[in-house]
Amino acid sequence: MRNDSLIPSFRRPASSVVIRRAANYEQDLAGLLYESLLQFKLPIKDKTVLLKPNLVGLDPLGVMNTHPSVVAAARESFLRLGAAQVFIGDAPAMDRDTEAILESVRLREYAGPLARTFVDLNVDDVERVPLKTRASRLKELYLPKTVMGVDFLVSMPKLKTHHWAGVTLSLKNMFGIVPGSCYGWPKNVLHWAGIDRSILDINASARPDFAIVDGIVGMEGNGPLQGTPKACGVLVLGNDPVAVDATCCRVMGLLPEKVKYLSLAGTLLGNLKLEKIQQLGETIESVRTPFAVLDEFRPLVG
Amino acid sequence: MQVSPEASFVATTCLPLLLHSQNTDGGWGFRSGSASRVEATCWALHALLNAAPLEAAESIGSGFQFLRAAQLPDGSWPASQGENAGCWVTSLACWVLLSEENSAKAVASGLRWLCDDWPRDSSPWRRFLGRFSSQHKIFPINTSYRGWGWTPRTSSWVEPTSFALLALAESPEELLPTAAKRRRKLAEALLYDRMCPGGAWNCGNPMVYGVAGDRLVLATAWALLALRHHPERPENVMSLNWLEQSVPNIQGPGSLALARICLDTYGRKWPLDESAFHDFYQKNEFLNSIQVAAWTCLALAPRRPWLATSSREVS
């Protein structure tokens, strides 16, 4: 079973975040990720792992979704680390045809046939989950049994700006576990409950154990769907999604403390402050790539 | 007699999957072995009623029983067992239960719930507040039109609005609540208002921050089916043209099935050969989806009594 304890103590230890340079999707990402994951000594031998990429829509140009080569590389790495099974799962938010999205991103080409590997979280069996925080007005959500039952959950977003939330990274990516079969396409009930607060509630209740961010090519401006591709050339990974997202913001030239949901998450779910994050691999400064944001998010720019 | 590849695919792959995946409670889950859900059950029932009404009579009977038992006291149906609030699947349940002679009361109460369920985004109070908001520049839509949301008291979206319109259009007059006529009129206007520039639909955001939203096959097919009694309207024609041109590029079997149903319904020629669905199945086995198997049965059927009413005008 996964560690179910809520909210780390305020005297929590520092989180670890690794930044790796990766110039393109053709290089040996599995080797790079495997070597990086080894540093974390993750307890996943014989465990079931679920990789939750960000698959938001039909994406023939490969600019809005987590790139399939990163997902396949992560799968290979976790299997090599001894995981018993590694599933890939997502609940795309805008289009009900999940298989069309998978084919458009060419996930099958990279990860093999998907009938027994991919879990469409939009139509998975669900269980009632009382939310552990009450940041939004939601008291409970019906969430996929696969997500709640897995041993190790990995959020795998793409590095993007977001026209409502400022940025969409590993915490916002967890919106994508909420099943459309219960809440629709899009999951409008979360918007009514408040995006920032819903992000907090979902992450407190279905806590991702690890995050791997595809920042090789991200998206700036009017993300998460209609922004502009932005080459950033990094993979960012770590054992605390809040710290990973904070690091990504700093790489993007944004202030994580000014991102509303991240600031909330930093008080409860993980480490936001630079001094509480052990930065490994490349330094933030060496890979910093300022991302353009919509006018209303100018205050986020550092 | 030679069986066509499509009929053979339905008979050897899709129908057996549906028949073998029914749960002991009479319902179907979204995958074989998963818990029964209202939506999956509705599609499986539509498919069996259409393709094998006699051979599958027992399955169909217990499917109807599951649906009737799942109805909530307020007339609605929940998305999953254990939920005590109804949602958009109410339209689907009403629609399929119209085929069952003992369900008139259940359908009438479901339709009443649907017509009493107004989305919150377009309430008079919200519209008043909207005058002072910058949101209308970001989402330039007419909020005086009202359809249906995925969940009660949220916003109108294209697909749940289409499902409700289909359920209302297929229902006989005597089961319709008095508000039905007005709801249909407002909802049809909403669908046309939410159409993307140049035709076709996505979930319901034609423009965001001045950029046209991407058009989607499923949303377009459902909207066109819901609006099929206006075949000559330029919006329908433009959208059909887009759908027809999109078919060769469709990458999912669910979209392919709905596109086929929609184009057939409007009398357009299907441009792909008979192996298209089988080829999709070879890729990912439809991700084991009961819903996609059911839609494929419906798409490849020679007749469509489940879309019986073709021209009930909204006056």
pTM here?
A: 0.94
pLDDT of residue B311: 40
B149 against B137, higher pLDDT: B149
Nearest chain A residue to B33 by CA distance is: A125
Asked if the C-beta of B292 comes within 8 angstroms of chain A's C-beta atoms, the answer is yes
- When computed from its CA atoms, the radius of gyration of chain A, rounded to whole angstroms, is 17
B241-248: average pLDDT: 98
Q: Is residue A1 part of a domain?
A: no
Question: A224: cis peptide before it, omega within 30°?
Answer: yes
Q: Is residue A21 part of a domain?
A: yes
A158-173 pLDDT tens trace? 999 999 899 999 999 9
Confidence tier at B138 by pLDDT (50, 70, 90): low
User: Which CATH number characterizes residue B181's domain?
Assistant: 1.50.10.20
B73-96 pLDDT tens trace? 999 999 999 999 999 999 999 999
Q: Could you give the angle at which helices B217-226 and B253-265 cross, rounded to 10 degrees?
A: 30
Burial class from Cβ neighbours inside 10 Å (0-12, 13-18, 19+) for residue A185 reads buried
Q: Is residue A6 part of a domain?
A: no
Residue A288: C-alpha distances to residues A24, A266, A295, B225 (Å): 17, 22, 21, 50
Q: Is residue B315 part of a domain?
A: no
Among A268-277, A279-288, B40-49, B136-145, where is mean pLDDT lowest? B136-145
Asked if the C-beta of B9 comes within 8 angstroms of chain A's C-beta atoms, the answer is no
Asked if the C-beta of B71 comes within 8 angstroms of chain A's C-beta atoms, the answer is no
Interface of B with A in 26-55 (CB under 8 A): 29-31, 34-35, 37, 39-40
* Cβ–Cβ under 8 Å, residues A87 and A119: yes
* Cβ–Cβ under 8 Å, residues B286 and B30: no
Confidence tier at B207 by pLDDT (50, 70, 90): confident
Count of structural domains, chain A: 1
* Cβ–Cβ under 8 Å, residues A294 and A163: yes
Q: Which residue in A58, A120, A123 is closest to B214 by CB distance?
A: A58
Asked if the C-beta of B250 comes within 8 angstroms of chain A's C-beta atoms, the answer is yes
Which value, to the nearest 10 degrees, does the dihedral of the CA atoms of residues A114, B274, B50, B70 take? 10
Q: Is residue B142 part of a domain?
A: yes
- pLDDT over 90 (residue B125): no
Confidence tier at A7 by pLDDT (50, 70, 90): low
How far away is chain A from the Cα of B170, in angstroms, using its nearest Cα?
A: 23
Q: Is residue A10 part of a domain?
A: no
Confidence tier at B136 by pLDDT (50, 70, 90): low
Q: Is residue A227 part of a domain?
A: yes
pLDDT of residue A11: 60
Q: Is residue B311 part of a domain?
A: no
How far away is chain A from the Cα of B229, in angstroms, using its nearest Cα?
A: 25
Q: Is residue A223 part of a domain?
A: yes
Q: B216, A95: Cβ pair inside 8 Å?
A: yes
pLDDT of residue A44: 96
- pLDDT over 60 (residue A3): no
Percentage of residues in chain A having pLDDT higher than 90: 89
B215-224 pLDDT tens trace? 999 999 999 9
* Average pLDDT along chain A: 94
Task: State the SS3 of chain B.
Answer: CCCCHHHHHHHHHHHHHHHHCCCCCCCECCECCCCCEHHHHHHHHHHHHHHCCCCCHHHHHHHHHHHHHHCCCCCCCCCCCCCCCCCCHHHHHHHHHCCCHHHHHHHHHHHHHHHHCCCCCCCHHHHHHHCCCCHHHHCCCCCCCCCCCCCCCCCCCHHHHHHHHHHHHHCCHHHCCCCHHHHHHHHHHHHHHCCCCCCCCCCCCCEECCEECCCCHHHHHHHHHHCCCCCCCHHHHHHHHHHHHHHHHCCCHHHHHHHHHHHHHCCCCCCCCCCHHHHHHHHHHHHHEHHHHHHHHHHHCCCCHHHCCCCCCCC
Boundaries of domain holding B208 = 5-306
User: Which CATH number characterizes residue A186's domain?
Assistant: 3.40.50
A118-134: average pLDDT: 96
How far away is chain A from the Cα of B245, in angstroms, using its nearest Cα?
A: 17
A32-57: average pLDDT: 97
Q: Is residue B136 part of a domain?
A: yes
Structure tokens given for A34 = 């495997």
Q: Is residue A4 part of a domain?
A: no
Count of structural domains, chain B: 1
pLDDT of residue A92: 96
A150 C-beta neighbours (distance < 10 Å), count: 25
Interface test with A, best of B139, B218, B251, B256 (most A CBs within 10 A): B251
Among A20-34, B127-141, B191-205, B291-305, where is mean pLDDT lowest? B127-141
- pLDDT over 50 (residue B7): yes
Q: Is residue B225 part of a domain?
A: yes
Q: Is residue B147 part of a domain?
A: yes
Q: Which residue has the tokens 């520039």?
A: B197
Asked if the C-beta of B175 comes within 8 angstroms of chain A's C-beta atoms, the answer is no
ipTM for the complex? 0.93
Q: Is residue B312 part of a domain?
A: no
Q: Is residue B314 part of a domain?
A: no
Boundaries of domain holding A186 = 15-300
* Average pLDDT along chain B: 92
Q: A103, B287: Cβ pair inside 8 Å?
A: no
- pLDDT over 60 (residue B122): yes
